[in-house]
Amino acid sequence: MSQSDYLFTSESVSEGHPDKVCDRISDTIVDAFLAADPEARVAVETLATTNRIVLAGEVRGPASITPEVMIEKAREAVKAIGYEQDGFDWRTADVSCYVHQQSADIAVGVDAAGNKDEGAGDQGIMFGYACDETDELMPAPIALSHRILKAMAAARHAGKVPFGPDAKSQVTLRYVDGKPVGATSVVVSTQHLEGVGQEEVRELVRPFVLDALPEGWMCPEDEFYVNPTGRFVIGGPDGDCGLTGRKIIVDTYGGAAPHGGGAFSGKDPTKVDRSAAYAARYLAKNVVAAGLASKCLIQVSYAIGVAKPLSVYVNCAGTNRVDETELSKVLQQLMNLSPRGIRTHLQLNRPIYARTAAYGHFGRAAEEDGGFSWEKLDLVSELKSAFGAAASV
């Protein structure tokens, strides 16, 4: 029997967190390649530390995206985040590029040829998840953690608060009968300007937390922690080394659902680590939105060079109103889960990835230019039709 009364915690980190700086740079380079050639192949990693950025990885794309262009894109990403501090400045940081051509051995196994369809870029397992805890069909703790930091970042960019770009949030919710009912603790750590005291920071942060949480959900005062160490002036890569792909739980479901292991940022959509995770979220979200379950977890798996998924697993944690095996069959009829099928269905070969690098890849609104296309609910009517009365229970 599953536990129904419990506490659950998720965290988020801001766009200025060292690892998120690296995710943003890597995805900005992905966008540059896809803007120049929608079929470009990109796998770029970034390391950032005190006034130094290192780019590495493999690409196959237009000659116009030179190392010099990638270096300039890295600076643009850091500028957009807002780093102009002594230890990390977009204008003066030393940026090195060690990106090289994609392995021919990988290319020959993945590329379509003759009667062979394009295969997966690697073996692996990917998960997608949705639940009815929030309007965006995301687990409430991670959704609220993101909400706090996004609002703080907007105020910082508008010059309304003396915060720096680096920040973290953490929300612990109490669940009763499996449903969230309120926060038991909230932690926010935010970089701030020199001379701003801890108590001032606390009161500046408070309205962002109150606005993010549903009415009446605020935690007790002694469980509201803001900059617990007392001072946070040195932040970002100057305070801690950053790496691409090191915040995969923040990127997904805050620990409320499994993660297959592969990171998203820095990868073009032929990489199933990214595209298949997006597809699994898309399907799970449509299942919950169609009323077929209150929770839906989907796992897909692939072998390198093979187009068809090796498995498609659906688990609704006992909340399903239809048979899960039949649901898996219907979902595969509605969407071709080959790498090419996913990219075509969700139109992923577009420069839409830099915006995903912070505040989660899921639970966002689908955008007119194709951004966050995996958040669309355009399968709901077909799912309802497939399962008839069960979808309206």
205 neighbors 152 (Cβ within 8 angstroms): yes
* Joined tokens for residue 348: 């992923």
Local structure of residue 389 (DSSP, 8 states): G
- Rounded Cα–Cα distance for residues 301 and 313 (Å): 9
Binding-site members are 17, 19, 45, 58, 102, 166-168, 231-232, 240, 246-247, 263, 267, 271
Query: Listing from the earlier edge strand, what are the strands of the sheet with 52-60?
Result: 94-101, 52-60, 41-49, 242-243
- Rounded Cα–Cα distance for residues 326 and 314 (Å): 10
In order of their start, the domains of the chain are: 6-12+140-233 (3.30.300.10), 124-132+272-392 (3.30.300.10)
Measured in residues, the chain has a length of 393
pLDDT tens per residue, the chain (393 residues)? 467 899 999 999 999 999 999 999 999 999 999 999 999 999 999 999 999 999 999 999 999 999 999 999 999 999 999 999 999 999 999 999 999 998 766 655 566 545 456 778 778 999 999 999 999 999 999 999 999 999 999 999 999 999 999 999 999 999 999 999 999 999 999 999 999 999 999 999 999 999 999 999 999 999 999 999 889 999 999 999 999 999 999 999 999 999 997 999 999 999 999 999 999 999 999 999 999 999 999 999 999 888 999 999 999 999 999 999 999 999 999 999 999 999 999 999 999 999 999 999 999 999 999 999 999 999 999 999 999 866 555
Closest to 137 in 3D by CA, of 381, 375, 386, 378: 375
Q: How many C-beta neighbours within 10 Å does residue 341 have? A: 18
Q: In Å, how far from its chain's centre is CA 301? A: 19
- Rounded Cα–Cα distance for residues 301 and 361 (Å): 20
Binding-site members for Mg(2+) are 19
The amino acid sitting at 115 is: N
Residue 12 bridge partners (DSSP): 169
Binding-site members for L-methionine are 58, 102, 240, 271
Q: How many C-beta neighbours within 10 Å does residue 377 have? A: 15
Binding-site members for K(+) are 45
Binding-site members for ATP are 17, 166-168, 231-232, 240, 246-247, 263, 267
Q: In Å, how far from its chain's centre is CA 215? A: 27
Tell me, what's the pLDDT at 115?
Answer: 46
